[in-house]
Amino acid sequence: MGIMDSLRQALGLSAETDATRAADPDDLFGMSTAYMTMEAELGYRPTGEAALCFSNVDSTAFESAQREVERILEAGKEETGTEARVNTDSHGYQWVVLEDPDFEDLITSLHFAADTFIEEGFGSRLLAALFAFEKTDQTAYWVYSFRRGAYYPFAPQPRNERDSSAEFKLESVLDGELEVEDEKEYWYPLWPDGNGDPWE
């Protein structure tokens, strides 16, 4: 199963049907303290990258909304130095990929992007926000599902395997600090098409 098939199942129609509450972009600010806990207690450090995944729609209004997101991020770059790019994958889904060594700036920029889509009337097109972390020989992500209004950890290993032990450790340490998805069936793996990050 490819990454976008997983997103479609875990974060798309099924999650919309099973949504427990309305997603709130302010939930992204929960990472402001969570990333410090991850480093202090588990040794994970931010990689300096985060991404917002959304599904496109063929309309002038949506194109205008996307341009507004890009305009806001470009304006924010002057203040924060956060680099932003939009990547369209082979399935037609799009990612706003952000790079900044200052993790707080990443959170703020990601929130601006998500909030702008919502204000423009396209909140339903938002699928997920991802934050990347690393320690020796291990990369892990916190995935925020906009349809479920909750986070879950994803710790990929080579050959499309998962480090379940690392994921459950992340859950045990940060549950309560983040709104963690209780239903493990929604902890879908977001495998990249290649060997990079899920948004590559």
3-186: CATH topology: Alpha-Beta Plaits (3.30.70)
The pLDDT value given to residue 137 = 82
> Bridge partners of 126?
54
pLDDT, tens digit, 9 for 90 and up, residues 56-105 = 888 899 999 999 999 989 888 888 889 999 987 766 678 999 999 999 99
The pLDDT value given to residue 85 = 92
Residues (pLDDT < 50) of the chain are 1-4, 13, 15
The pLDDT value given to residue 1 = 44
Q: Do the beta carbons of residue 111 and residue 76 sit within 8 Å?
A: no
The pLDDT value given to residue 30 = 94
CA distance 54 to 185: 21
Q: Reduced to 3 DSSP states, what percent helix, strand and coil does the chain have, rounded to the nearest 5? A: 45, 25, 30
Q: Do the beta carbons of residue 143 and residue 154 sit within 8 Å?
A: yes
Residues 6+ positions from 163 with CB-CB distance below 8 Å: 138, 140, 155, 156, 157
Q: Do the beta carbons of residue 54 and residue 94 sit within 8 Å?
A: yes
Q: Do the beta carbons of residue 164 and residue 15 sit within 8 Å?
A: no
Residues 6+ positions from 84 with CB-CB distance below 8 Å: 70, 73, 74, 77, 96, 97, 98, 99, 109
Instruction: Determine whether 192 is exposed, middle or buried from the number of CB atoms within 10 Å of its CB (0-12, 13-18, 19+).
Output: middle
